[in-house]
Amino acid sequence: MEGLLIVIWLAVAVFVLAAFWKMFAKAGKPGWACIVPIYNLVVMLQIAGKPVWWIILMLIPIVNIIVSVIINIAIAENFGKGAGFGIGLWLLPMIFVPILAFGSAKYLAAAPPVQAAPPVQAAPSPAEPPVV
């Protein structure tokens, strides 16, 4: 009985690994990155559109829980899914990652951070001479 449980556990682990590999590939990242510790988190941050320095936040207790929820929600949104799906990614990755990987979800590139527009200068009125 114990041997059967190990075989089932290994099968699930290989399936989830394949799902992460496919999800990374769908996002245009190398699939092998999912098996490299720490680098896989860097790639997930890129897929989520979050800055890489957030890895430091993952080292802070309690904060890491909040950050991981935000990252999973961002990943879900970048695949065209909602925040509820992101919570599912966080709570049950062995179910929701394969849905993203093998389903019809397409990766919508993460939007770059919004930058403030430069101030607009008013054009001089015709009565005033131009300032040189």
Residue 125 located in a structural domain? no
Residue 122 located in a structural domain? no
| Mean pLDDT of the region 26-30 | 93
Structure tokens at 125: 């009125």
Structure tokens at 39: 């680098």
Q: pTM here? A: 0.77
At 54 the pLDDT is 94
Residue 76 located in a structural domain? yes
116 pLDDT tier (thresholds 50, 70, 90): low
Residue 11 located in a structural domain? yes
Structure tokens at 10: 């290994």
**Contact (CB, 8 A) for 110 and 48:** yes
Model pLDDT for residues 42-96, shown as the tens digit of each residue: 999 999 999 999 999 999 999 999 999 999 999 999 999 999 999 999 999 999 9
Residues of the domain holding 33:
2-102
Q: Please give the Cα distance from 96 to 23 (Å, whole number).
A: 11
Residue 118 located in a structural domain? no
| Mean pLDDT of the region 19-23 | 95
Q: Taking Cα atoms as reference points, which of 49, 78, 45, 47 lies closest to residue 64? A: 45
- Measured on CA atoms in the order 98, 82, 40, 5, is the torsion positive or negative? negative
2 pLDDT tier (thresholds 50, 70, 90): confident
At 118 the pLDDT is 64
| Number of separate domains in the chain | 1
101 pLDDT tier (thresholds 50, 70, 90): very high
